[in-house]
Amino acid sequence: MKIDVEGAEWDSFLLAPDSVYQQIDQMAVEFHHVDEERFVVTVQRLKEFFDIAHVHYNNFSCDATLTPFPSWAFEVLFVNKRLAKSDGTPSASGPQPVDAPNNVNLPDCQAL
């Protein structure tokens, strides 16, 4: 499943019943904003069902004031825990080839 609904994703994920998440194998989401408590609650809920396989920060929205986040828009790939288990070890550090900037004319802000 892929979802990019310009900020409406937060409420959608909070309101979805568990049965919906049990049917999704992988989910690619573009999240918008990081500055409200409901965003933390939403990600905690998603992590009940999914492991985070990858995070990519969108360089259209880099903002150094959002520490620890480098951007207020970012893409996350979730993989259902019934399919794969994470051992908690971080993946390779630094941007990967899949992390090409969304806008090649702007500086990138991938977390290192």
Q: CB under 8 Å to 74, separation ≥6 — which residues?
A: 30, 31, 55, 56, 57, 58
| Stated pTM of the model | 0.80
User: What's the pLDDT at 25?
Assistant: 95
Indicate the CATH number for domain 2-82.
3.30.110
User: Which pair of structure tokens corresponds to residue 99?
Assistant: 């992390």
Rounded to whole angstroms, the Cα distance separating 43 from 62 reads 20
Counting residues of the chain whose pLDDT is more than 90, the rounded percentage is 22
- Predicted confidence at residue 90, as pLDDT, reads 66
Q: What is the mean pLDDT of residues 58-77?
A: 85
First-last CA distance in the chain: 27
112 vs 104: CA distance, rounded Å: 19
